[in-house]
Amino acid sequence: MPSRKTPSQPETSPTPGRAGEPLRTRRPRGLGAEIVDSLAAGIRDGQLQPGDKLPTEAEIMARFDVSRTVVRESLSRLQASGLVETRHGIGTFVLAPQDAGNFKISAEDFATVADVIAVLELRMSLETEAAGLAAQRRTPDNLKAMENALHAFDDSISRDSDAVPPDFQFHMEVARSTGNRHFADLMNYLGTMIIPRTRVNTALSAPEGRLNYLQRINAEHESIYNAIRDQDAEAARAAMRTHLSNSRERLRKGNNAHTMQPQNDPAAAQIPRPQANATGTQEGIKLYDN
């Protein structure tokens, strides 16, 4: 009996096209994946620079011989990957590379009083433990550096300063006293912008109210210092938590306040400024601290 020969299956098969269009050969890979890989490679290799506009949907359709639906799905995948953004009615543009894996807090993260409170809450968890470790590990040099910051704070008060630099310096010295460089590195990264007085407008505060306020701040610092000096870790944690909690509560009470805007920012003129009341403090602003 003659053997029956079974025809082998072709690796590709024709795909019906629209009326009047030639038949397309279906490629074994996903069509969308091919488009995504090609465009992503062009972005990574620098052929497409940040700000460049991608080819139009029609151009991509012609280049890859695919439908409009496939093109749009591919662009959506690129957008979800953070490589491009689509501006409706204009086109799709390449975005600058993002450091998605890096922790970041910028000035934009202090746009509202709620933002300042959010950073304070982060500091509470960080600096409370730092104070406890500092009490266990501080050296005579660490204590001297904290004392210098306390004295500098007092000097700033007498010079009618906002005392922001020595305020930050005290918290930095506590971080250094942990003996763990990561605490100090993070504080150094955040910088003086973590001090709410640099972000919240207290310019209309009366001098006598402001003086009492700053003296209270430094008294809280002294409580932290005393606990660290006495190597009482629990007392140091409690003093730091109390200090930052007090700051948060003062900010919450002043939740109608606005953070500072640059002098040349047109939006600044649109922000209503609180009026000073009979006690000399701003209505809605209760003299915030760090």
Q: Please give the pLDDT value at position 101.
A: 57
- Residue 184's Cβ-side half-sphere holds a number of Cα atoms within 13 Å equal to 15
Domain ranges of the chain: 29-94, 107-260
Distances (CA, A) of 118 to 72, 96, 125, 239: 38, 28, 11, 20
CA distance 78 to 40: 8
Scored b (16 or more CB within 10 A) or e, 93-120 reads: ebeeeeeeeeeebeeeebeebeebbebb
CATH number for the domain formed by residue range(s) 107-260: 1.20.120.530
Q: Is the pTM of this model over 0.75?
A: no
CA distance 94 to 96: 7
Q: pLDDT 10s per residue in the chain (290 long)?
A: 544 444 444 444 444 444 444 444 444 446 778 898 889 888 888 888 988 999 999 999 999 999 998 898 888 888 877 788 888 888 899 988 765 556 677 776 777 888 888 889 999 999 999 999 999 999 999 999 999 999 999 998 888 777 888 999 999 999 999 999 899 988 888 887 777 766 664 433 434 477 888 888 999 999 999 999 999 999 999 999 999 998 888 777 755 444 444 334 333 333 333 333 333 333 333 333 44
Helix (H) or strand (E) run with residue 84 in it: strand 84-87
Q: Please give the pLDDT value at position 229.
A: 98
Q: State whether CATH 1.10.10.10 applies to domain 29-94.
A: yes
Three-class DSSP category at 282: strand
| CA nearest to 187, candidates 200, 176, 172 | 172
CA distance 122 to 249: 15
**Do residues 287 and 207 lie in contact, with contact meaning Cβ atoms separated by under 8 Å?**
no
